[in-house]
Chain A
Amino acid sequence: SQTIHQWPATLVQPVGSPLSLECTVEGTSNPNLYWYRQAAGRGLQLLFYSVGIGQISSEVPQNLSASRPQDRQFILSSKKLLLSDSGFYLCAWSPGQGEAFFGQGTRLTVV
């Protein structure tokens, strides 16, 4: 069966520090991969998605970047965090059409 791992679960980082969040998927190949941010009481905001290694589509211009160095690995990064980067970050995978499956999320607090 397929599983998705996302870590860390919580993170507190100072303003100006770098960020690296990692997501890996097991049990499938060539998945579509997604990074979302969810603000309290608001919907899911798509940040990046990838349909293959090295292929990244950015939905929102911002302080973040994404990379897909391997087929089942998706990384969300920042060189210098801002206070506004605080939020709940979710990684998801999809077989290409149909349902998406989410990781457990990373709660990021920038202080």
Chain B
Amino acid sequence: QKEVEQDPGPLSVPEGAIVSLNCTYSNSAFQYFMWYRQYSRKGPELLMYTYSSGNKEDGRFTAQVDKSSKYISLFIRDSQPSDSATYLCARNTGNQFYFGTGTSLTVIP
């Protein structure tokens, strides 16, 4: 069983749409949750980071964690063509990181 499961997509949306990206995880230990954005041929860039259930907002991005159902989500409001990238979810426990395989997103102008 994978530590983090992520729908690979690809996902294609029109500019201005709300995007919902989702992951599930299997471990119940205390941990941190992250979302990364990765452009082609670049390293992943940290977008959001949280450790508690509920929502965390940063501009057009909202990270949501539901520990009861082991579900993490990233919402992108007013999506822009520059949001076109691969999005990786991740969790951290101690020294270990577990990454999803990434969801490829294309925002069409």
Q: Is chain A's binding surface mostly helix, strand, loop or mixed?
A: strand
Residues of A within 8 A of B90 (CB): 100
A82 within 8 A of B: no
- Chain A min CB distance to B101 (Å): 4
Q: CB < 8 Å: which of B32, B41, B94, B100 contacts A43?
A: B100
Interface residues of B in 80-109 (CB under 8 A from A): 88, 90, 92, 94-95, 97, 99-102
Cβ contacts B19-30/A at 8 Å (1 or 0 each):
000000000000
A: number of interface residues (CB 8 Å): 25
- Let me know if A46 and B43 touch, CB within 8 A: no
Across the interface, which residues of A come within 8 angstroms of B51, CB to CB? 98
A97 and B105 CA atoms in complex are apart in Å by 29
Tell me if B46 is interfacial: C-beta within 8 Å of chain A. yes
A103 contacts chain B at the CB level, 8 A cutoff: yes
- Other-chain contact of B102, A43, A98, A99, A102 (Cβ < 8 Å): A43
Q: Assuming A97-B32, A98-B49, is B44 touching A42 (CB within 8 A)?
A: no
Closest-CB distance, B39 to chain A (whole angstroms): 10
Partner of B42, one of A92, A96, A99, A105: A105
**Per a CB cutoff under 8 Å, which of A42, A98, A101, A105 touches B92?**
A98
Whether, in the assembled complex, A75 has its beta carbon less than 8 Å from a beta carbon of chain B, the answer is no
Chain A residues engaging chain B, CB cutoff 8 angstroms? 6, 32, 34, 41-44, 46, 49, 51, 88, 90, 92, 94, 96-105, 107
